Amino acid sequence: METTLTLRKLINRRVMQQWLQALAGALHGAYVALEDGDGRLLAQVGSDLAPTETAARYPLSYGEHLYGHLLVRAGEAEPVIHFAVQSLLNLLAAALENRSLAQETLERYREINLLYNIGETINTSLDPQQIPGLVRDEATRIINADFGVVLLLEQQRAPALRSSFGDEALVDEALTLIASSIQAILQDGKPRIISSAQFDRATDTTISSVLCAPLKTRSRVLGVVLLGRCLGRDIFTAGDEKLLTTLAAQAAIAVENARLFADLRQQRDEIAAMKTYMDNIFASIASGVMTTDNADAITTLNRAACAILNVEEAQVLGQPCASALPGIGALMLPLMQEVKDNDRVVQKEINTELPGRGPVYLRLHLSQLKDNHAQRTGIAIVLDDLTETRRLEKRVQLIEKTFKQYVVPSVVEQLLSNPDQVRLGGVRREITVLFADIRGFTAFSERTDPERLVEVLNSYLTLAADAVLSEEGTLDKFMGDAVMAIFNAPLEQRDHTLRAVRAALAIRESIRRLHEQLDPAYHLNFGIGITTGTSVVGNIGSTEIRNYTAIGDSVNLAFRFQSHAGPGQIFLNELAYARVQPWVKAVVRGPIQVKGHSEPDIVYEVMGLK
């Protein structure tokens, strides 16, 4: 009994008031009142007490708990009062009984809800190897135990351990001590609570009790679920037995279904070349299925078909296929005729437009329906919605086409694994831009044969491109003897400015090594400008020809900086230097005036990494 309950919680205030009015009437308008267990006055009726009058207090107790008092002006008729007290106690008892029933119902609901959730967990698996572990986990979640095991009957009808928890030695000992009980459960399919006194042999063991429930379907016993407790723990109760039995019954159904599914899957694999009716069912669980009669009127269609075709079942049943399904019905008719004429399965992918959905891609499988006498009764049509798949394929193709020539393969793979990382079109974001231009190339080209010129140019540009790609930068474009690269696009790079600086230093070092192999007449060098700032990045151009590039003041500034940089020099703007200052050695080269800027810009020359 809950000791916190009071009259206020148990009896409706309106009922209290009516009851007091009836009592006051029986006592000719005398003062009567109800007082709660905590001393608070709940209700009163009748004449107020005179200063010289007092109220008698009658306790309202049920069991060992005092719930309140009935207050009546002293001197009133005792028989009436005692009858009233008994009447009120009856109301109190009924309220307590209703509350107890409500609590019991709530507990029962919680138990059912728990078992339902457990059943859902177990029945979602169609893997016979996984279910014993799920049963073990769920059993120990609802019933406290020190160890447990799930036994399943194998084809030889011998129980085999499939999953267990707790001390393996205790599990082995328990299986030995209750071997006869396990055999009895496998025979009669009844659960048991086995105490230490009922073990097969007397022994000095720490096991106090074992609870067993059969994995039992309607037709047979599949195995046993066993839970055990050690000394010092309470013996399992009838409630525990009931819970485990219910859980085991659900688990048995899951095991049976999983085994059946495994058998069907094996059969499907053996006859994979043949499209039997059962194979079609399993292969098209998520597909739309529609049937027509010999007059091409729709006879049935499932929920998936309604969703794919964007129609209501009630509106199309019994209607001719061509008129009931605008956008696709007319396209189906020649396919249906082909099935009728050739008595074979027809497959076709259709690109059409459906009302309410727009452009769609559908794959159709059409086959004849026949009765037991091999007479044609209609056509079965299975529809697979490939719309999202085709859209994704186009998007992947566009991403590949857009980026594979600009970035390293690993970046392309990241984009393809999550296409939402890139928005095709203009997007405003902070990037770092690198411009590298070969110094003295014009004069060099005048004194060099064209063939050799291209060979040397490609050597230098290849070094620059490799350095950019090694830092996962994006090659924007080659412009004669210059290269432009961007970092932090299309994928975000938290250290994009440092990547650009490392790429520039790598270019400088690669050229130094190249000079060791080249004739001094072919020694060239890059002037490099690097800026960090906000730009618009995306596919820029016409609807037919577009390039992935960046546009903005920071792009122009990087170009201007490289034009001021001498051979081997790497210039940074102020924001770029601020981003890499902890890792880069640089010196100020003074402000320079660049075209398009009203004020001079501070330039930092990179000397190396710290």
List the single range of 129-138, 155-164, 306-315, 574-583 with lowest mean pLDDT: 155-164
pLDDT band at 1 (very low <50, low <70, confident <90, very high): very low
Which residues lie below 8 Å from residue 43, measured CB to CB, with a gap of 6+?
13, 16, 17, 20, 33, 34
Cα–Cα nearest to 3, from 42, 43, 61: 61
**Are 221 and 153 contacting, i.e. CB atoms less than 8 angstroms apart?**
yes
Which residues lie below 8 Å from residue 411, measured CB to CB, with a gap of 6+?
403, 472, 474, 490, 491
Whole-Å CA distances, 141 to 144, 234, 236:
7, 17, 15
List the single range of 242-256, 355-369, 469-483 with lowest mean pLDDT: 242-256
Per-residue confidence (pLDDT) for residue 364, from 0 to 100: 92
Better-predicted residue by pLDDT, 70 or 526: 526
Is it the case that residue 231 has pLDDT exceeding 50?
yes
Structural domains of the chain, ranges and CATH numbers in brackets: 7-102 (3.30.450.40), 125-268 (3.30.450.40), 277-385 (3.30.450.20), 423-609 (3.30.70.1230)
**Are 37 and 11 contacting, i.e. CB atoms less than 8 angstroms apart?**
no
Given the structure tokens 């970046």, which residue do they identify?
A: 411
Per-residue confidence (pLDDT) for residue 278, from 0 to 100: 45
List the single range of 274-278, 375-379, 444-448 with lowest mean pLDDT: 274-278
Per-residue confidence (pLDDT) for residue 407, from 0 to 100: 54
Map residue 276 onto helix, strand or coil: coil
Per-residue confidence (pLDDT) for residue 157, from 0 to 100: 65
Is it the case that residue 410 has pLDDT exceeding 60?
no
pLDDT band at 39 (very low <50, low <70, confident <90, very high): confident
Is it the case that residue 40 has pLDDT exceeding 70?
yes
Map residue 382 onto helix, strand or coil: strand
Q: What pLDDT, in 10s, does the model give residues 137-184?
A: 777 777 888 998 888 887 656 677 677 888 888 888 888 898 899 899
- Dist. CA 164–CA 149, nearest whole Å: 4
Better-predicted residue by pLDDT, 94 or 595: 595
Highest mean pLDDT among 25-29, 322-326, 543-547: 322-326
- Dist. CA 103–CA 568, nearest whole Å: 84
Per-residue confidence (pLDDT) for residue 431, from 0 to 100: 96
Is it the case that residue 563 has pLDDT exceeding 90?
yes
Whole-Å CA distances, 122 to 125, 142, 147, 221, 284:
6, 14, 20, 18, 24
Per-residue confidence (pLDDT) for residue 486, from 0 to 100: 94
Is it the case that residue 333 has pLDDT exceeding 70?
yes
State mean pLDDT over 537-542: 77
State mean pLDDT over 368-380: 87
How many DSSP H helices and E strands does the chain contain?
19, 22
State mean pLDDT over 454-477: 92
Is it the case that residue 74 has pLDDT exceeding 80?
no
Neighbouring CB atoms inside 10 A of 87's CB total 13
pLDDT band at 415 (very low <50, low <70, confident <90, very high): low
The residue type found at 206 is T
State mean pLDDT over 345-363: 90
496: enclosing H helix or E strand? helix 496-515
Per-residue confidence (pLDDT) for residue 72, from 0 to 100: 84
Q: Which residues in 302-387 belong to E strands, given as ranges? A: 346-354, 358-370, 376-385
320: enclosing H helix or E strand? none
Cα–Cα nearest to 233, from 141, 144, 100: 144
**Are 208 and 77 contacting, i.e. CB atoms less than 8 angstroms apart?**
no
Is it the case that residue 436 has pLDDT exceeding 90?
yes
State mean pLDDT over 108-136: 64
Is it the case that residue 584 has pLDDT exceeding 50?
yes
- Dist. CA 240–CA 143, nearest whole Å: 7
Residue 225, exposed/middle/buried by CB under 10 A (0-12, 13-18, 19+)? buried
Q: What pLDDT, in 10s, does the model give residues 513-537?
A: 999 998 898 999 999 999 999 999 8
Cα–Cα nearest to 504, from 424, 454, 568: 568
Average of per-residue pLDDT values in the chain: 83
Chain-centroid distance, C-alpha 235: 40
State mean pLDDT over 110-135: 64
Is it the case that residue 370 has pLDDT exceeding 50?
yes
Per-residue confidence (pLDDT) for residue 544, from 0 to 100: 63
- Dist. CA 16–CA 160, nearest whole Å: 65
Given the structure tokens 């007490």, which residue do they identify?
A: 49
Cα–Cα nearest to 81, from 63, 64, 57, 65: 57
Q: How many CA atoms lie within 13 A of 244 on its CB side?
A: 30
Q: How many CA atoms lie within 13 A of 452 on its CB side?
A: 10
Better-predicted residue by pLDDT, 551 or 490: 551
Better-predicted residue by pLDDT, 19 or 121: 19
Report the percentage of the chain scoring pLDDT > 70.
84
pLDDT band at 90 (very low <50, low <70, confident <90, very high): confident
pLDDT band at 279 (very low <50, low <70, confident <90, very high): very low
**Are 594 and 601 contacting, i.e. CB atoms less than 8 angstroms apart?**
yes
Residue 349, exposed/middle/buried by CB under 10 A (0-12, 13-18, 19+)? exposed
Is it the case that residue 438 has pLDDT exceeding 80?
yes
pLDDT band at 412 (very low <50, low <70, confident <90, very high): low
Highest mean pLDDT among 29-38, 106-115, 157-166, 593-602: 593-602
